[in-house]
Structure 1
Amino acid sequence: MCGRYATARLTWEQIVAMSTLTTLGIPPEPLREAYNVAPTQMAPIIASDREQHRCTLARFGLVPQWFRKPLEELKFATFNAKSEEVTEKASYRGPVKSQRCLIPVQHFYEWKGKGKPYAIGNKDETPMFFAGLWTNWAGMSKGEIVEFDSFTIMTTAANDFMQQIHKRMPVILQAEDYETWLTGETDETLAVAGQYPSQLMQAYPVGPAVGNVRNQGSELAASVGEAI
């Protein structure tokens, strides 16, 4: 699964350039540096309704549009969605049809068993896009009316590389599949939600401080051992 990742120093300008979506506007507010994005935190995404795309900050952890209780009563986890199950699960079968997103990531973290955390990304250290689903939700939170976008990261079975660390991994999209993921029919999009090439990836151990969401500094991404 994937519950922690880093956008590091990515800017909206870099995210838009990565996407190759020339019609995207760039939000006026700059992004904060983020080295330990965790569920319930706000993070950048490119959201699409299959016709229009937009940059937005969204809550990590999708809130289903049909959820009508106060936000603090949302007890089930929605930060990851298994690609094999999204057309069946009530939280995801609506969004997978027309509310898909690109999630910009510099690297992500995964724990090998209950042991060492690893930072995982591209060998050439370029950022990547995860495939995701999003919603816009309005309701009550702690007695106040709120409205925000939210998202979940799609996951799939681990490729050969990731099997060294975990049995599952995020759906990482290749550049030629961005447009299909955002605008295609459901069957088309799920067809590109496959395994990212192992030869493009690397992982290196990082310190245990990444396990605490209060730790957010760039030192979290420092290697404490050799890459694999």
Structure 2
Amino acid sequence: MCGRLNQFAKIPALTIAGRALRIERRKKKEREDKRADVSVVNNICPTDYADVLTMESGELGVERMRFGLIPQWAKGGKAEVWKKFMLTFNARCETVFDLASYRLPVRRQRCLIPVRGWHEWPDRTTPYFIHRTDDAPVLLAGIWDVWESSDPADAAGGALVTSMSVVTTPPGSYMAKFHDRSPLILEGENARAWMQPDMQTDDLRAFFKPYESERLEAYRVSTAANQARNKTEEVLQPIAPPVPQAGDEPVNVEELDSDLKLF
């Protein structure tokens, strides 16, 4: 699962396959939900907004999207739909072509979410922050859609909602220490190819592979990260050494708690 994202205060400089990318923020859509004006960098939770890379006419741009996809066919006003689609922040690669909310976006509207890192909870209460050892941006594969409320009462707050989900896969060997799912991480030409139009289903399925890299690093952080309202740097600060890459056993939180009492 990937339910908490962390981004950079500014759009990071990105290079794909050795080529620096020129990225500009796209003009805000008319009637866009006013919550998209709120910039959240740390501890981005489902229904918060995050910066997302999309491709138009071969050019990359960044726009802000709700974390948790609302399909364009959803019925109801904003308040109803917002609650109904609170759990669509991840799209499992095994079912993304089958579920009604995802099957059109995965074929037509794919994106990348550049993150500083994300959180996982091996035991649902103990948070770990996962990032690259060099703190370079990690590109998560996503899908997106645009929904608009037909309820006149929603016009004042912006009736249009652009939203996205992070695609997930089974974990690589390191990520398996923390969870049984992992975000789909793309690098190099795969990252650019993911957003190309006219991709066939079999071509897209070829991306769905567990991510293996010695560049990933995870360390335990304060339970302050459990609080959705906490958007400070505190949620990223280590309280224990990084978990080593070696070994294939899940982290043992009870053993780590005993070690922490020594400090």
Q: Common fold, TM-score beyond 0.5?
A: yes
State whether residues 118 and 206 of structure 1, in contact with CA within 8 Å, keep that contact through their aligned partners in structure 2: yes
Offset, 1:142: 9.4
For residues 89-114 of structure 1, what are the alpha-carbon distances to aligned partners after superposition, in whole Å with 9 as ceiling and x for unaligned? 00000001110000011010000123
For residues 57-116 of structure 1, what are the alpha-carbon distances to aligned partners after superposition, in whole Å with 9 as ceiling and x for unaligned? 011110001102113223242100001111100000000111000001101000012341
**Partner AA of 2:3 in structure 1:** G
* 1:48 counterpart SS class: strand
**Partner AA of 1:25 in structure 2:** E
From 47, 66, 82, the equivalent of 2:73 is 66
* 1:209 counterpart SS class: helix
| Structure 1 residues 120 and 141, CA gap change in structure 2 (3 angstroms) | farther
Q: In the alignment, which residue of structure 1 is the partner of 2:44? A: 37
Once residues 153 and 141 of structure 1 are traced to their aligned partners in structure 2, the CA distance between those partners, rounded to angstroms, is 28
From 201, 204, 224, the equivalent of 1:186 is 201
Point out where structure 1 has 5 or more consecutive residues left out of the alignment: none
Once residues 186 and 179 of structure 1 are traced to their aligned partners in structure 2, the CA distance between those partners, rounded to angstroms, is 17
State whether residues 49 and 100 of structure 1, in contact with CA within 8 Å, keep that contact through their aligned partners in structure 2: no
2:167 is the counterpart of 1:154: yes
Larger Rg: 2
Once residues 175 and 82 of structure 1 are traced to their aligned partners in structure 2, the CA distance between those partners, rounded to angstroms, is 22
Offset, 1:42: 1.0
Offset, 1:180: 1.2
Q: In the alignment, which residue of structure 2 is the partner of 1:95? A: 105
Identity of aligned residues (%): 32
Greater CA drift, 196-205 or 155-164: 196-205
Once residues 51 and 115 of structure 1 are traced to their aligned partners in structure 2, the CA distance between those partners, rounded to angstroms, is 43
Q: In the alignment, which residue of structure 2 is the partner of 1:104? A: 114
RMSD: 2.4
Once residues 22 and 124 of structure 1 are traced to their aligned partners in structure 2, the CA distance between those partners, rounded to angstroms, is 19
How high is the TM-score relative to the length of structure 1?
0.89
- Aligned pair count reads 225
Once residues 138 and 111 of structure 1 are traced to their aligned partners in structure 2, the CA distance between those partners, rounded to angstroms, is 34
Q: Which has the larger strand fraction?
A: 1
Q: In the alignment, which residue of structure 2 is the partner of 1:169? A: 182
Greater CA drift, 19-28 or 190-199: 19-28
State whether residues 129 and 173 of structure 1, in contact with CA within 8 Å, keep that contact through their aligned partners in structure 2: yes
| Structure 1 residues 32 and 73, CA gap change in structure 2 (3 angstroms) | closer
Q: In the alignment, which residue of structure 1 is the partner of 2:138? A: 128
State whether residues 136 and 147 of structure 1, in contact with CA within 8 Å, keep that contact through their aligned partners in structure 2: yes
| Structure 1 residues 189 and 163, CA gap change in structure 2 (3 angstroms) | same
Point out where structure 2 has 5 or more consecutive residues left out of the alignment: 29-36, 244-263
For residues 118-176 of structure 1, what are the alpha-carbon distances to aligned partners after superposition, in whole Å with 9 as ceiling and x for unaligned? 00011222111100000111115793131131000000101110111111111111122
